[in-house]
Amino acid sequence: MSVLVTGGAGYIGSHMVLELLDAGDKVVVLDNLSTGFRTAVPAAAQLVIGDAGDIHMVRALIRKHGVTAIIHFAGSIVVPESVADPLGYYFNNTVKSRALLEAAVTMGVRHVIFSSTAAVYGMPEHNPVAEDAPLKPISPYGTSKLMTELMLADTAAAHDLSYVALRYFNVAGADPQGRSGQSTPRATHLIKVACQAALGQRPGLEVFGTDYDTPDGTCIRDYIHVTDLARAHSAALDYLRRGGDSRVLNCGYGRGFTVLEVIAAVKKASGVDFAVKMSPRRPGDSEQVVAKADRIRETLGWQPRLENLETIVTQALAWEKRLERIKTAG
């Protein structure tokens, strides 16, 4: 018996692999390495270089490794890129997920955990936003994820399959033991960009919008530590293995921080007063997106351990320093 992790060489996927291995699970990683890194996959996991949309390969892996559960991270995640290339996103995120589900059903895999997103809510009218809020994605990225959620629901209704779809809010931080982190050089995540600015890898960073109806005029987001997120997936897997029914759950802390609060935390942790440019709002940015997070705690018994912003920022900064040392040594 083993767990198949698609996209397991990426940022969130690699932390999931660590969590599974730490729990004693056998892990098979399927990743095409288009954005993931071979070095992010621990030696204890079986890495197969290939595509999650390759139904024949997925069937063969399920058969060979006795896969009983699939945790699906593989996909594209950059919102502006999805606007420029909607068909690419629908193919990579939706069409390939359909192929993966077909492989799971035909091979008798009963448990699937899906990496969804708070982008399915679009610009929520109320915060914190609950799972039953209107689903109005404003980008092809969000729509592609919502379409996969709908496919999961229909598939579970028709076949012997149960699933948990976790709607992530803003993922940040790095493995507390320094084993993995956000390695994509041009990632757009605020905390990574701020850490790179603190280390002089960027000339500074830009803040978009300072006139929102928030305490300091900048957007508010719910930042969740990537290791807490991986633990939520583990809790979801345990829940399904115990016979739990299919669920869609928010994955956040239920409180948010402004952009300027995050920047201040990075400056404090690094001791560097890097340049910050104030710019007008960007189209499509929500003023505030914070999870209503009680359902995941009640359903899965999940309790965050690393929800302190200083902890998230400090570990993200430590990972960036590690990447810098590796680059310098190489």
Distance set, CA 60 to CA 47, 50, 52, 63 (Å): 14, 12, 12, 5
Q: How far apart are CA 246 and CA 236, in angstroms?
A: 10
Pairing of strands 162-168, 46-49: unpaired
Question: Could you give the CA distance from residue 159 to residue 2 in angstroms, rounded to a whole number?
Answer: 21
Q: Report the alpha-carbon distance of residue 33 to residue 270 in Å, rounded.
A: 31
Residue 161: phi and psi, rounded to 5, are -145, 135
Distance CA 119, CA 284 (A): 11
What residues are labeled active site? 141
Rounded Cα distance between 325 and 328, Å, is 5
Within 8 A by CB and 6+ apart from 330, the residues are: none
Round to whole Å and give the CA distance between 300 and 290.
Answer: 20
Distance CA 67, CA 2 (A): 5
Classify 113 as helix, strand or coil. Answer: strand
Q: What are phi and psi of 170, to 5 degrees?
A: -95, 110
Q: Which of 2, 260, 287 is nearest to 122 (CA)?
A: 287
**Residue 293 token pair:** 């997070």
Tokens 């003023």 — which residue?
287
